[in-house]
Amino acid sequence: MKSQRTKEIKVGIVSFIGIILLIIGIALGKGFSVSIDQKLVKFRFPNSGGIKISAPVVVNGVKRGSVQSITNDKQSVIIEAFVSSPADFRSDVSARITILEITGGKKIEINPGKSPQSFDLANEISGTTAADIGDLVALVGDVSGDAVALIRRLDTIAAAGTELLADGKFIADLKETATEANSLARNANTLLDDNYQYLSQSIKNIRILTGDLKDAVQKHEPSVGRIINQLQVVLDDTKSFLSGADSVAASATILINNIDDIAREIRNGSGFASKLLFDPDFMRQMDSTLTEMSKLIYQINNHGVNVNIRLGSRP
C-alpha cells in the first residue's frame, strides 16, 4: 500500500513538472521573455502585413522581443512590441515586416542604424512591409491575363517562324546571302593583305605631310599676319578711293544734267545759243552787223576818223 502511494506521488510530481515545462515552452514559443531590460517600442507601418501578436522582433537576425499590440491609426498601423536592450538603436533606425519561415509566419526585422545620435523611445520607428507569398500570388493573378496574351503572341510568332523556315526558297536565299557575305569578307581580307604595305606607306606619308603643313604654318605665321595687315590697309585705302570716286561720280552726274539742260534749251529754241544756231533772222542781223563793222573798220583804216565835238552847248 505504501509502495502504491509512493508511485502516485512520483507520478504527480512528474506530471506537475511536465505541465510547468509545457507552460514555459508555450510561453517561450509565443515570444514571452523574462528579460528585465525590455522596453516598449512603437512602430508605424503602412499596413500590418499579416503579422500577429507575439510575432518575434529581431535585430540583425537576433530575436530581441515580441509584438504586444496591433492597432489602426490615421490610415496606417501602430505596432507595439517589447524589445530587450534597445540602447543600440540610433536615430536612423528602421524596421520591416518580413516572412518568418517559408511555411508561414511574420516577423519584424529591425535595422538599428548608424547615426551617432541615439533613438528616443518616445518616438515611432517608421517601417515598411515586404511582399509575401499572398501578394505574389495576387500579382501573378493580375498579370495572368497579359501572360496569356503574350503566350498567344509567342505561339503566333513561332508558327510564322516555322512557316518561314519551312519555305525552301527562303532557306536557299539565306544560304546564298551568307555565302556571298563570306565571299565578300574573304575578298576584303585579300585586298587588305595585298595592299597593306601601300596603305601603311600612305598613312605614313599623310602623317609626314601633316607635320610639314604644321611646320609651314608655324614658320610663316608672322609673314601671313603681316600680309593680312597690309591687305587690311589696302582695303581701307580702297574704301577711301571709292568714297572719292563716289564724289566725282556725283559731280559728273551734276555736269551731265547741266549739259542735258543746255541741250534741251537748244532743242526747244530758247536761249542765246539756240538763236545763234537756229534763228535765221538773228543770223541775218548778226551778218549785217558784222558787214557794217567791217566797213567801218575799213574806213577807219583808210581815211581815219573825223570827230566834231561841241562843248558847253547843244547844236
137 in a domain, yes or no? yes
Rounded to an integer, the average pLDDT of 94-107 is 82
Integer Rg of the chain from CA: 63
Output the nine-digit C-alpha cell for 193: 593583305
Structural domains counted in the chain? 4
Same domain flag for 123 and 97: yes
Which of 87, 105, 130 represents a domain boundary (last residue)? 130
The amino acid sitting at 8 is E
Same domain flag for 26 and 53: no
276 in a domain, yes or no? yes
304 in a domain, yes or no? no
The pLDDT score that the predictor gives to residue 72 is: 92
Whether residue 58 contacts residue 96, with contact meaning beta carbons closer than 8 Å, is answered with: no
Say what the pTM is. Answer: 0.38
What is the rounded CA–CA span in Å between residue 80 and residue 170? 71
Same domain flag for 138 and 110: no
Query: Which residues share a beta bridge with 77?
Result: 45, 72
The pLDDT score that the predictor gives to residue 255 is: 78
Q: For position 126, which CATH number holds?
A: 2.40.30
236 in a domain, yes or no? yes
Output the nine-digit C-alpha cell for 77: 498601423
210 in a domain, yes or no? no
The pLDDT score that the predictor gives to residue 20 is: 82
308 in a domain, yes or no? no
Same domain flag for 165 and 230: no
Same domain flag for 114 and 161: no
Rounded to an integer, the average pLDDT of 175-202 is 84
What is the rounded CA–CA span in Å between residue 300 and residue 288? 18
The pLDDT score that the predictor gives to residue 67 is: 92
Model pLDDT for residues 278-305, shown as the tens digit of each residue: 666 766 777 778 787 877 777 777 766 5
**Residue 44 pLDDT level (bands cut at 50, 70, 90):** very high
Q: In this model, does residue 80 exceed pLDDT 90?
A: yes
261 in a domain, yes or no? yes
Residue 141 belongs to domain spanning = 132-194
201 in a domain, yes or no? no
Q: Between 34 and 167, whose confidence is greater? A: 167
Mean pLDDT of the chain: 78
